[in-house]
């Protein structure tokens, strides 16, 4: 049985990587400037390089694909962590207000600097995730404050508190964005929709340090399995419950905030990916976490490809495309949970 489940995990992982590679290939070869497979291969391998092909591949498409993959993977992993810690299948960084808190902080960053330190400069690129983490921590502190009952985190109140916090932070974000100058406002609106339009290698570089959290998460994944037990059972095996919760929530806040800082708020990835992962590979988090990341990666890459090709010459943000899929899925989960 153990070998069968492990074999199933590797089959799912291989198939997921194939789907992600297919989405990346389609994004790399299709667009306003179509390129053949041979053109892409020759450009990547530096065989008979051409300036226009280098520009399209290395400056526009490849950083967008890499950033989308990193953001999708991070959001999928963060969603699996949050659902594991809260034991709530409807928990999600967006629904809980973490996205909104990080988004508010990044928009505040844009408003305070007003182009003096832009997102294309190294200082701005490195500071934006820090602002995002601060906003995510603020949202989490508010959730802890209002969702606790008799010193324990109530999963039922968690969703209601998260929705209220997300709405409040969203209103503050809109108020601050309306105070911006026209150029910064336009950038903020595009970013808030969840877009990879401005992706570049500096954004990719600022995501990489946060991915160092992934080994820690995988090593400690068995703790998330213990979180599915009752709190009394958790304490009986000697687990420091609150400390472990704080470690995992901080890791998820870091991943979400870094993602929001470079791509805006892409909702529903953290909700859908863990559900699909559990259906594919079972209930052990050592398998759920990487598969959730792969599903998130596929969703972002596919959503970005759809947004920039299906509606051409107009471009639809990846956050909007994913939301079109995510809203009905969320309603389905609500109906199923009531049943």
Min mean pLDDT across 3-12, 129-138, 236-245 is at: 236-245
What is the pLDDT confidence band of residue 262, given thresholds at 50, 70 and 90?
confident
Largest Cα–Cα separation, the chain: 68
More confident residue, 115 or 141: 141
pLDDT digit string, tens, across residues 312-321 = 777 888 888 8
Specify if 6 maps to a domain. Answer: no
pLDDT at 192: 80
Residue 125, pLDDT > 70, answer no
Specify if 39 maps to a domain. Answer: no
Residue 338, pLDDT > 70, answer no
Angle, helix 62-86 to helix 2-29, in steps of 10 degrees = 150
Specify if 43 maps to a domain. Answer: no
The whole-model pTM stands at 0.89
Q: What percent of the chain shows pLDDT beyond 70? A: 90
Min mean pLDDT across 224-228, 234-238, 284-288 is at: 234-238
pLDDT at 119: 46
Domain count, the chain: 1
What is the pLDDT confidence band of residue 235, given thresholds at 50, 70 and 90?
low
Specify if 115 maps to a domain. Answer: yes
More confident residue, 286 or 127: 286
Specify if 47 maps to a domain. Answer: no
Q: Distance (Å, rounded) from C-alpha 131 to C-alpha 206?
A: 13
Specify if 37 maps to a domain. Answer: no
pLDDT at 94: 80
How far from chain centre, in Å, is Cα 238? 32
Chain length of the chain: 339
Identify which of 35-49, 70-84, 198-212, 230-244 has the greatest average pLDDT: 70-84
Return the CATH number at 159: 1.10.3470.10
Q: Domain range for residue 136? A: 53-338
What is the pLDDT confidence band of residue 74, given thresholds at 50, 70 and 90?
very high
Specify if 36 maps to a domain. Answer: no
Specify if 28 maps to a domain. Answer: no
More confident residue, 150 or 49: 49
Question: Under a CB-based contact definition with an 8 Å cutoff, are residues 97 and 143 in contact?
Answer: yes
pLDDT at 1: 57
Question: Under a CB-based contact definition with an 8 Å cutoff, are residues 192 and 264 in contact?
Answer: yes
- 300-324: average pLDDT: 86
pLDDT at 153: 67
Q: Would strands 148-149 and 152-153 be described as parallel, antiparallel, or unpaired?
A: antiparallel
Question: Under a CB-based contact definition with an 8 Å cutoff, are residues 76 and 296 in contact?
Answer: yes
């Amino acid at each position: 049985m153990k070998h069968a489940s492990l074999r199933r995990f590797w089959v799912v992982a291989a198939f997921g990587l194939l789907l992600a590679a297919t989405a990346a290939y389609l994004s790399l070869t299709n667009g306003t400037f179509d390129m053949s497979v041979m053109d892409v291969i020759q450009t990547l391998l530096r065989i008979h390089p051409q300036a226009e092909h280098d520009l399209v591949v290395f400056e526009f498409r490849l950083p967008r694909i890499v950033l989308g993959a990193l953001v999708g993977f991070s959001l999928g992993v963060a969603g699996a962590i949050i659902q594991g810690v809260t034991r709530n299948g409807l928990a999600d960084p967006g629904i809980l207000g973490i996205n909104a808190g990080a988004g508010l902080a990044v928009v505040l960053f844009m408003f305070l600097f007003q182009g003096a330190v832009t997102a294309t400069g190294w200082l701005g690129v490195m500071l934006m995730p820090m602002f995002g983490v601060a906003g995510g921590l603020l949202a989490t502190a508010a959730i802890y404050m209002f969702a606790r009952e008799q010193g324990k985190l109530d999963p039922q109140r968690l969703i209601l508190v998260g929705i209220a916090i997300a709405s409040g932070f969203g209103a503050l974000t809109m108020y601050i964005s309306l105070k911006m100058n026209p150029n910064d406002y336009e950038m903020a609106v595009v970013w808030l929709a969840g877009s990879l339009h401005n992706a570049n290698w500096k954004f990719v570089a600022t995501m990489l340090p946060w991915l160092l959290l992934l080994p820690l998460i995988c090593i400690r994944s068995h703790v998330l399995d213990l979180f599915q037990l009752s709190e009394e059972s958790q304490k009986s095996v000697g687990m420091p419950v609150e400390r472990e919760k704080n470690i995992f929530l901080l890791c998820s806040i870091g991943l979400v905030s870094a993602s929001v800082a470079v791509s805006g708020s892409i909702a529903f990835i953290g909700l859908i990916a863990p559900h699909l992962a559990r259906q594919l590979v079972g209930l052990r988090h050592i398998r759920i976490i990487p598969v959730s990341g792969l599903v998130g990666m596929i969703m972002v890459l596919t959503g970005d490809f759809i947004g920039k090709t299906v509606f051409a010459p107009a471009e639809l943000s990846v956050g909007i495309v994913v939301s079109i899929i995510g809203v009905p899925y969320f309603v389905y989960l609500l109906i199923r949970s009531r049943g």
